[in-house]
Structure 1
Amino acid sequence: MKLGLFGINMGALGQEPQRAVEVAKAAESAGWESVWTGEHFALPDPAIPGSPVSPDTPILEPFVALAHIAAQTTTLRLGTGVTVLPLYQPLALAKQVASLDRVSGGRVLFGVGAGYFEPEFAAFGIALDSRASRVDEMLEALPALWSDQATSIEFQGRTIPGLRAEPRPIRSSGPPLHIGGHGAAATRRAVTHGAGWYGWSMSPDKAAAAIARLQEAQTKYQRPNGLGTLEISITPPHRMPLDAELIARYAELGVTRLILLAPGESHEHQDELLAFVTAAPPTLLG
């Protein structure tokens, strides 16, 4: 089982980025595989139903935060959890991801999703009901832009010809894509485009049901040979107690990676967070 830490760019770690570096370095030393960012550009104030976090929560731009961490770590993988694809333009995003992959030496785990929060889409002038087509087009455009030849891409009714974006990511196919989301479309995309699938706030029972849906989807949709075995990443519910028995339950289901939230309020208290990061691998993995 691989362990990832979620929220390396959020809250106190977003307000004081050097604290995030301290946590990331401690995680690397303790045996964590990865750290993961959250992503929200702005939130309604006052908060409305469905708001993911309080509007006063500091959230650093994910690629900037991960580049800062990359410069001061050596083996720690750097995950986006998740990049909301419909809010981006493919040329700029391809450049951001490739640049981070280069400066980190190929350590990016590129988590992507369709998004759900209508006020954020409205702020960008993007219709929420366009997100499915935008995601599907982005999943085709990004690998094309990372290829070693000039290419044309299709995006929102336009053909953009003769493009080449250098430098490319370390891997010829780009960083591993981890498709986030619980719906049928995310399941399909994970099978057809993903190195992995990422489920949020899932108990072992919910994870088992999601994995069954993914297995069924692999009988319906063709999976390219180059993608290999689909990795399964899960973030357990925030208040679920973490112990070795729970980790073993996820492992028995075939979960590859647990991306953990720090327990309680320790995410906001540096000493408590560092203690959790240091103790978690030996406590949870044995």
Structure 2
Amino acid sequence: MRIATTIFLTDETITPVRLARELEQRGFAGLYLPEHTHIPVSRETPYPAGGELPREYGRTLDPFVALGQASAVTERLALGTGITLVAQHDPVDLAKQAATLDHLSGGRFTLGIGFGWNVEEAADHGVHWPDRRALVRDRMALMRALWADEPTAYEGGFGSVRASHAHPKPVQEPRGPVNGPRTLIGGAAGPKLFAQIAETADGWLPIGGRGLTESVPALRTAWDAAGRDPKHLQVVPYAVLPSPGKLAHYADLGVDEVVLQLPPAGEAEVLRALDAYAAYL
């Protein structure tokens, strides 16, 4: 099983360069970074985990800039977003960012995407909350048109792009209906999410990894119904606090990559966490 990591990198934590070098030297498989452009002070949206919103949410580094730094100082470390808030991006710009990072890293980039939870943050980006899932689907389709080998136009419900020259292209080869970087969709288990994963992605990025005994078979059913190759489905439990029993359970379910949560802390505390997680490598 590949052991990757995620962390809220901020202006107060270990740097991307230091962390990426340590991860690769120690044999970790990857680094995934979350995204929040800003956190409005006045908001009604509750923190999904309950309680006060942690300080790091309003201080996150831009994941594409930070992962670009990590790419430049590593050769094998996988790089990903966990997750990119696609609805809050211009899709033409986001397609360029993702393709550039995949190109410069030699195909090491995973685009983890999601729909968000903070209504006020999304509203400042002009997102109409009830439309966000349809908007993400539409923007991903537009991005895939720009990633196509030949100039391809796209006309959608929320945006369009002319047939265009758009380079660099992502390194990774098309997989069935999916082109561009490896794409994982985050979100709570359910028929609508699983249908979208089967139609438009390489797999699922379930936060915390709970309930997989029931949900993974349901996702496999949706995957089969979409005519996808069963061996290509990827389930990557995300932001996991590990134990030997938990990782063994994931392995029994066919999981071959897990993303462990690191503390949003300075260098010394993060390196101590890596020392503790080394037992799972």
TM-score category by the smaller chain?
Answer: 0.7 to 0.9
Instruction: State the Cα distance separating 1:235 from its structure 2 match.
Output: 2.3
The equivalent residue for 2:128 is 127
What do the CA deviations read for 1:112-171 (whole angstroms, capped 9, x no partner)?
Answer: 112232111111121011112212212322221111211111233554322221111112
- Decide whether aligned partners of structure 1 residues 128 and 46 sit closer, same or farther in structure 2, where only a CA change above 3 A counts: closer
Q: Given the superposition, is the C-alpha separation of residues 14 and 55 from structure 1 closer, same or farther in structure 2, using an over 3 Å criterion?
A: closer
Alignment match, 1:230: 233
1:30 offset after TM fit, Å? 1.3
Q: Answer yes or no: is 1:38 the counterpart of 2:34.
A: yes
The answer to whether the 8 Å contact 1:33/1:76 transfers is: yes
How far apart are residue 100 of structure 1 and its match?
A: 0.8
The amino acid across from 2:39 in the alignment is L
Per the alignment, in what secondary structure is the counterpart of residue 117 of structure 2? coil
Q: AA paired with 2:257? A: R
Pair 1:250-2:250 in alignment: yes
Once the 2 structures are TM-superposed, how far is the Cα of residue 174 of structure 1 from its aligned partner? Answer: 1.5
User: 1:145: which partner in 2?
Assistant: 146
CA distance in structure 1 between the partners assigned to 2:149 and 2:239 by the alignment: 39
- Correspondence for 1:267: 264
Q: Following the alignment from structure 1 to structure 2, what is the Cα–Cα distance between the partners of residues 58 and 218?
A: 37
Deviates more, 1:244-253 or 1:76-85: 244-253
C-alpha distance 158-82 of structure 1, shift in aligned 2 (>3 A): closer
2:185 equivalent in structure 1: 179
Superposed CA offset, 1:205-235 (max 9, x none): x122220220221243233x5x951111002
Measure the CA separation in 2 of the matches of 1:273 and 1:139: 34
* Worse-matched range after superposition: 45-54 or 144-153: 45-54
Name the CA distance, whole Å, in 2 between partners of 1:160 and 1:19: 37
CA positional deviation for 1:95: 0.4
TM-score, length-normalised on structure 1?
0.86
- Cα distance in 1 between the residues matched to 2:14 and 2:260: 21
Match of 1:64 in 2: 65
Aligned with residue 213 of structure 2, among 203, 208, 213: 208
Output the CA distance in 2 between the equivalents of 1:142 and 1:229: 22
Query: How far 1:49 moved relative to its partner?
Result: 4.7
Matching of residues 157-172 of structure 1 within 5 Å: 157-172=158-173
8 Å Cα contact 2:198/2:226 also seen in 1: yes
With structure 2 as the length reference, what TM-score do the two structures score? 0.87
Q: 1:192 offset after TM fit, Å?
A: 1.6
1: distance between equivalents of 2:42 and 2:127? Answer: 22
SS of residue paired to 1:14 = coil
Say which of 220, 232, 235 aligns to 2:225: 220
CA RMSD of aligned residues (A): 2.2
Query: Is the CA contact (8 Å cut-off) linking 2:4 and 2:258 kept in structure 1?
Result: yes
Q: Which runs of 5+ in 2 are unaligned?
A: 174-178
In structure 2, C-alpha distance between the alignment counterparts of 1:21 and 1:43, rounded to whole Å: 25
1:27-80 CA-to-partner distances (Å, cap 9, x unmatched) read 111111110111111112256552364356410111011001111111100010
Contact 1:233 1:258 (8 Å CA) reproduced? yes
Percent identity (aligned): 29
Q: Contact between 2:10 and 2:264, CA under 8 Å: does it hold in 1?
A: no
